[in-house]
């Protein structure tokens, strides 16, 4: 009886996710645009009206695998500019190693082309690392930042996180991400390039210094899950270092609290709570 119940739940999850993909793919096709940014074609979408809010997805991911659950809600109150970073999704590829500095430079250049002098930034996972880089090296481009499930030092993760990067294969990448990439690009060599670039960047992850984090002038909101990659102790340390900072530790694993695609179909209101908290943070003090 239990196995039947689990099977039904698994089928329901797959059906719900497929419906999400159908709706979001249609939306992306209708609103997606490209810009020539630092030698690549960068893909972005604009949804809603209001003050600009830039979304930066996680590693190996796309706009919709990271933000498909919450993008419609965020676009009710903001002009959302959702970006796919180098080598990911619809955006062009580079043969050189990925860096968070390059990602930040790409975002800053796209903002310049879109005539956005300053914006709020919400970055998840590797997108959170790019958000830190933006706040440190392009402070004039940043109004407020939400850093979700990111860390600034290698020791900010749970024990064992760094083991295996040097032996990682494409089979270690979640099938959902692989399938989504192939739906967009239909090219397994490009998928492999993205995978290797992402793995190489994490394998060679360089710490930001405490002084770097202290230098962030933008009001910040640090968010992690209570079973996240980032440890609660490290999130608290970031919160203590950034001069104007707020902190939330929400129920869930890496990205679960914002409805990341690996958790699609779960009957939870935590992503709605996350959106409400983000909106309150961004609206306070305006």
Domain limits of the chain? 2-283
Q: What is the per-residue pLDDT across 23-33, written as a single tens digit (0 to 9) for each? A: 444 444 447 99
Spatial CA neighbour of 146 closest among 251, 206, 70? 70
Per-residue pLDDT of the chain (286 residues), as tens digits, is 333 333 333 434 443 444 444 444 444 444 799 999 999 999 999 999 999 999 999 999 999 999 999 999 999 999 999 999 999 999 999 999 999 999 999 999 999 999 999 999 999 999 999 999 999 999 999 999 999 999 999 999 998 999 989 899 999 999 999 999 999 999 999 999 999 999 999 999 999 999 999 999 999 999 999 999 999 999 999 999 999 999 999 999 999 999 999 998 888 999 999 999 999 999 987 6
Separation between Cα atoms, residue 238 and residue 220, nearest integer Å: 10
Confidence (pLDDT) at 29:
44
Q: What three-state secondary structure class fits 153?
A: coil
Confidence (pLDDT) at 285:
74
β-sheet bridge partners, residue 47: 80
Contact call for residues 222 and 243 (beta carbons, < 8 A):
no
β-sheet bridge partners, residue 147: 123, 222
Name the percent of the chain in helix, strand, coil, to the closest 5: 50, 20, 30
From 1.10.1040.10, 3.40.50.1820, 3.10.620.30, 3.10.129.10, which CATH number describes the 2-283 domain?
A: 3.40.50.1820
Confidence (pLDDT) at 264:
87
Confidence (pLDDT) at 17:
46
Spatial CA neighbour of 114 closest among 53, 204, 189? 53
Tokens of 280: 């309150």
Confidence (pLDDT) at 166:
87
182-to-15, 53, 94, 125, 218 alpha-carbon distances in Å: 19, 28, 18, 22, 37
CA torsion sign, 173 to 174 to 179 to 180?
negative
Confidence (pLDDT) at 265:
80
Residue owning tokens 């079973």:
227
């Amino acid at each position: 009886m239990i196995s039947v119940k689990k099977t039904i739940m698994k089928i329901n999850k797959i059906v719900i996710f497929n419906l999400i993909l159908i709706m979001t793919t249609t939306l992306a096709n209708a609103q997606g645009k490209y810009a020539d940014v630092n030698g690549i074609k960068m893909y972005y979408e604009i949804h809603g009206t209001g003050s600009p809010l830039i979304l930066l997805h996680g590693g190996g991911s796309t706009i919709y695998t990271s933000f498909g659950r919450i993008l419609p809600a965020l676009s009710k109150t903001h002009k959302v500019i959702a970006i796919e970073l180098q080598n990911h999704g619809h955006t062009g590829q580079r043969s050189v190693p990925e860096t968070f500095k390059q990602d930040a430079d790409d975002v800053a250049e796209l903002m310049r082309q879109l005539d956005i002098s300053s914006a709020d930034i919400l970055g998840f996972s590797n997108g959170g690392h790019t958000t830190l880089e933006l706040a440190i090296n392009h402070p004039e481009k940043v109004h407020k930042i939400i850093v979700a499930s990111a860390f600034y030092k290698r020791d900010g993760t749970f024990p064992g996180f760094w083991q295996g990067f040097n032996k990682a294969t494409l089979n270690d990448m979640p099938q959902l991400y692989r399938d989504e990439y192939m739906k967009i690009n239909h090219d397994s060599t490009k998928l492999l390039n993205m995978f290797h670039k992402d793995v190489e960047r994490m394998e060679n992850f360089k710490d930001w210094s405490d002084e770097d984090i202290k230098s962030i002038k933008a009001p910040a909101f640090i968010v992690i899950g209570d079973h996240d990659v980032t440890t609660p102790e490290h999130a608290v340390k970031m919160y203590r270092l950034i001069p104007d900072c707020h902190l939330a530790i929400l129920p869930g694993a890496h990205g679960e609290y914002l409805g990341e695609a690996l958790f699609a179909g779960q009957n939870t209101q935590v992503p709605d709570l996350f959106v409400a908290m983000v909106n309150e943070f961004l609206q306070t003090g305006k």
